[in-house]
Each structure stands twice: as structure tokens, then as C-alpha cells.
């Protein structure tokens, strides 16, 4: 018999249940601290969270690596919030080293590219001639056709009318508890990342994620040249760009 449906309840937080300072092999830390940190973070992915207590953990690893004097790993269940909002909340708890009263500073946003990136070509001027107009009309028709095909395929896959074939990459049951590796990038919290936390009061940044979907097929074949994979992927993505 299945257990009761999960629900939010009022509880008392015991810090000892949430803050961990692991005792790791000092010889391994001295030999390769970066690998020890990576191995520890990877091991966390195999441990299910205890649903009887608030779903967050803090793991403090007090040893220097090649990029930092120490590391803190936050393990938070997705039920408490999406990744962007949680990172914003955690960064809101930090302050700039240069000005302890100020939040860290957000890196400058990249300049937007002008012109049409996706979709149909812009309408040519009147003096461009009939050939340019014919090309533009064809581009609009192809855009409409690609959009209809992509929407139909999306609906078919959502309703499971079309399914991916089983391959060696198809996950098996219980794969969520298998050991995982994480690619990381270190940021200096002393002087980076700030306006995100102000929740759009004086800027265009908002809490939460803005998601988009793209169904991109992956070839499982053997090509003679490694660049053939790149060429085929670019061809597919260029086709996807020409669709709403």
C-alpha cells in the first residue's frame, strides 16, 4: 500500500540534521584536493534525502583547493524552489568584500545582437526587385511549414504517440540514484553577482526560470570523420532556428 501523500507541515529545525562537516582522508586531500571535492559532491548524488525533515543540507569542506580556500556545498530539494531562485537567495546572503554593506556586483550583460536571429528573413525594400521578394515569400512559407511540423511533432511526443527508440543511452529504472559527475565553474563571490536578488525593482531581472523546449535528434552512428557529427548537428539546429 502506498504511503500518505506528501504535504507541508510545521516543524522545528535541528541544525545538526542539516549542517555536515565530513571527515575525509587527509592523505587524499593532501595528494589531490580537487579530486576529493569532486568525489564528495558526486557521492551526494547517490543519497536520497530524508523526507521526514526539511529538505536542505549544507556540507562544509574546510580544506583548500586549486580555486578556493574552502568549499560549501548546498544540497536543496527542488520542491523548495527552482535553481535560479535558490542561487539568487543564497547570493542575497553574501556581501561584497570591498563594501560589506553592499551586495555582490552582477557581471555586465552581453550586448544583444541586432537584426533577426531566428525565423523568416526581413522583408526586402521595394527596390530590391522580384527575385528578392520571391526569396522572402519562400522563407515565410518555409517558416510556417517548419513551425507546423515542429508543433505536430511536439504534441505527438507529449501524448506518447511517437517515442524514441531504445538505445544504449536510454535510462533504466533507478538511474536517478546512480553516481553522477558534475561540471563546475568557480566564481569569486567577493566581487561578482548581485542585481539578481533585487527581484526586478530597478532592473529587468526576475525571479524564476524562463524555459524553452527544442526537440533535437541525436545520431547514434559511426562517421568516418569526427567533424561529420558537428556538421549534421549544425544542419539540424539551423533547421530548428527557422521555426517559431
Residue 61: all three cell numbers together = 569542506
Phi, then psi, of 212 in degrees rounded to 5:
-135, 160
Radius of gyration of the chain (CA): 25
Q: How many CB atoms lie within 10 A of CB 91?
A: 18
Question: Does the annotation count 78 as an active-site position?
Answer: yes
Separation in Å, CA 33 to CA 75, 166, 183, 184: 20, 39, 16, 15
Catalytic residue among 18, 59, 77, 78: 78
Give me the active site residues, please. 78
Amino acid at each position: 500500500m502506498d504511503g500518505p501523500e506528501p504535504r507541508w507541515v510545521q516543524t522545528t529545525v535541528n541544525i545538526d540534521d542539516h549542517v555536515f562537516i565530513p571527515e575525509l582522508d587527509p592523505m587524499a586531500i593532501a595528494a589531490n584536493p580537487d579530486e576529493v571535492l569532486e568525489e564528495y559532491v558526486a557521492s551526494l548524488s547517490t543519497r536520497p534525502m530524508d523526507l521526514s525533515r526539511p529538505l536542505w543540507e549544507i556540507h562544509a569542506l574546510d580544506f583548500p583547493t586549486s580555486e578556493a580556500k574552502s568549499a560549501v556545498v548546498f544540497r536543496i530539494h527542488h520542491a523548495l524552489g527552482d535553481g535560479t531562485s535558490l542561487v539568487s537567495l543564497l547570493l542575497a546572503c553574501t556581501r561584497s568584500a570591498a563594501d560589506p554593506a553592499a551586495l555582490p556586483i552582477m557581471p555586465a550583460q552581453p550586448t544583444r545582437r541586432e537584426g533577426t536571429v531566428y525565423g523568416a528573413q526581413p522583408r526586402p525594400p521595394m527596390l530590391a526587385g522580384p527575385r528578392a521578394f520571391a526569396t522572402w515569400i519562400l522563407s515565410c512559407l518555409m517558416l510556417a511549414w517548419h513551425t507546423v511540423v515542429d508543433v505536430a511533432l511536439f504534441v505527438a511526443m507529449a501524448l506518447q504517440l511517437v517515442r524514441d527508440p531504445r538505445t544504449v543511452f536510454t535510462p533504466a529504472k533507478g538511474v536517478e540514484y546512480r553516481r553522477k559527475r558534475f561540471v563546475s565553474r568557480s566564481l569569486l563571490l567577493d566581487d561578482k553577482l548581485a542585481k539578481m536578488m533585487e527581484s526586478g525593482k530597478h532592473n529587468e531581472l526576475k525571479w524564476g526560470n524562463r524555459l524553452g523546449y527544442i526537440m533535437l535528434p541525436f545520431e547514434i552512428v559511426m562517421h568516418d570523420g569526427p567533424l561529420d557529427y558537428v556538421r549534421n548537428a549544425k544542419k539540424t539546429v539551423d533547421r530548428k532556428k527557422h521555426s517559431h
